[in-house]
């Protein structure tokens, strides 16, 4: 079975979600959107403790990434 | 979302502070004792609710003397931070002077980290000179780059994630920001948001 990734469809779907989510954020009180966001971010920060790269390996990875991306 | 928006201040009341917000606020409280700073790029849309995390927080600082940097470095170390870069304090300052970023994190962690850079062009200078104070509650505040520059800059960077950040900021702030300034930066950076309805 061949797996096909349609990048353009994926991009459109993600942008649709960004609009949808921003519209929700604008409608609800601050404590509602920020509570949901904090749950997501807190779990990401907690999970980052399992990050296995050394500082040297991490810096190398970032350096390689910035070479293919315009950066401020 | 309820925000109070003026040209140089945005207030968000009742925001639930995340672990990332706490990390940034703690770092910034130390940094601000030594220099003017401004937060740019990915953390800005996150601060206003974008549903994503980030590994690093990009912070631009005005150029300052090595003696000041040494005092800042010492205060960071005392408070349990370290620099991911292997250079000593003089080497770190040299990196800043060469336009490179240096990264600080809490001891025994890598993520999240702050990437610190000296301002190096007119856009960076504008960001710092026209910085916007974001108040998150009692004694919780930080300075960000103006939204009118962040949106075009994100479009300029151009990755899917950057474009989504630009679209998100536009959706949140479209009826509050100065469209003349926004469109001026769009032109300068030679980017267009028309495809996404930005700047129209």
Give me the residue spans of the domains in chain B: 3-145, 147-194
Residue of chain A whose Cα is closest to the Cα of B87: A56
Q: How many CB pairs under 8 A join A and B?
A: 122
pLDDT in tens, chain A (72 residues): 666 778 899 999 999 999 999 999 999 999 999 999 999 999 999 999 888 889 999 999 998 877 665 555
State the best of B11, B13, B20 to mutate against chain A, taking most chain A CBs within 10 Å. Answer: B20
Cα angle, residue B108 at apex, residues B81 and A42 outer, rounded to 5°? 90
Is the pLDDT higher at B137 or at B30?
A: B30
To 10 degrees, what angle do helices B160-173 and B147-157 make?
160
d(CA A30, CA B76): 32
| pLDDT, position A69 | 59
Q: What does residue B20 show for φ and ψ, rounded to 5 degrees?
A: -70, -45
Mean pLDDT for B83-93 is 98
Q: Is the pLDDT of residue B67 over 60?
A: yes
| pLDDT, position B174 | 96
Give the one of A29, A44, A59 whose C-beta lies nearest to B2's C-beta: A29
Mean pLDDT for B48-65 is 96
pTM score of the predicted model: 0.94
B-chain residues near A42 (CB < 8 A): 18-19
A-chain residues near B56 (CB < 8 A): 62
How close B75 gets to chain A, by Cα (Å)?
21
Give the one of A22, A37, A70 whose C-beta lies nearest to B168's C-beta: A22
User: Tens digits of per-residue pLDDT, B147-194?
Assistant: 999 999 999 999 999 999 999 999 999 999 999 999 999 999 999 999
Residue of chain A whose Cα is closest to the Cα of B119: A72
Among candidates B120, B145, B117, B151, which has minimal Cα distance to B130?
A: B145
| pLDDT, position A57 | 94
Yes or no: domain B3-145 corresponds to CATH 3.30.460:
yes
| pLDDT, position B104 | 98
Query: What ipTM does this complex have?
Result: 0.93
| pLDDT, position B7 | 85
């Amino acid at each position: 079975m061949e797996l096909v990734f349609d990048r353009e469809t994926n991009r459109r779907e993600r942008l649709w979600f960004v609009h949808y989510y921003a519209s929700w954020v604008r409608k609800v009180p601050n404590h509602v959107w920020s509570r949901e966001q904090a749950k997501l971010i807190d779990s990401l920060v907690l999970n980052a403790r399992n990050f296995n790269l050394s500082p040297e390996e991490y810096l190398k990875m970032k350096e390689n990434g910035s070479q293919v991306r315009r950066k401020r | 979302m309820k925000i109070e928006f003026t040209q140089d201040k945005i207030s968000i009341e009742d925001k639930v502070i995340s672990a990332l917000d706490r990390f940034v606020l703690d770092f910034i409280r130390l940094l601000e004792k030594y220099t003017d700073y401004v937060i740019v790029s990915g953390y800005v849309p996150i601060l206003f609710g974008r549903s994503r995390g980030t590994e690093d927080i990009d912070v631009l600082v005005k150029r300052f003397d090595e003696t000041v940097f040494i005092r800042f470095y010492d205060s960071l170390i005392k408070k349990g931070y370290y620099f991911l870069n292997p250079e000593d304090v003089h080497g770190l300052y040299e990196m800043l002077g060469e336009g490179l970023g240096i990264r600080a994190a809490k001891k025994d962690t890598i993520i999240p980290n702050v990437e610190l850079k000296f301002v190096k062009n007119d856009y960076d200078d504008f960001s710092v000179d026209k910085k916007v104070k974001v108040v998150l509650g009692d004694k919780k505040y930080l300075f960000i780059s103006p939204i009118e520059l962040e949106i075009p800059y994100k479009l300029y960077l151009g990755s899917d994630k950057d474009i989504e950040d630009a679209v998100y900021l536009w959706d949140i702030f479209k009826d509050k920001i100065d469209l003349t300034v926004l469109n001026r930066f769009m032109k300068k950076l030679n980017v267009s948001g028309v495809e996404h309805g930005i700047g129209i």
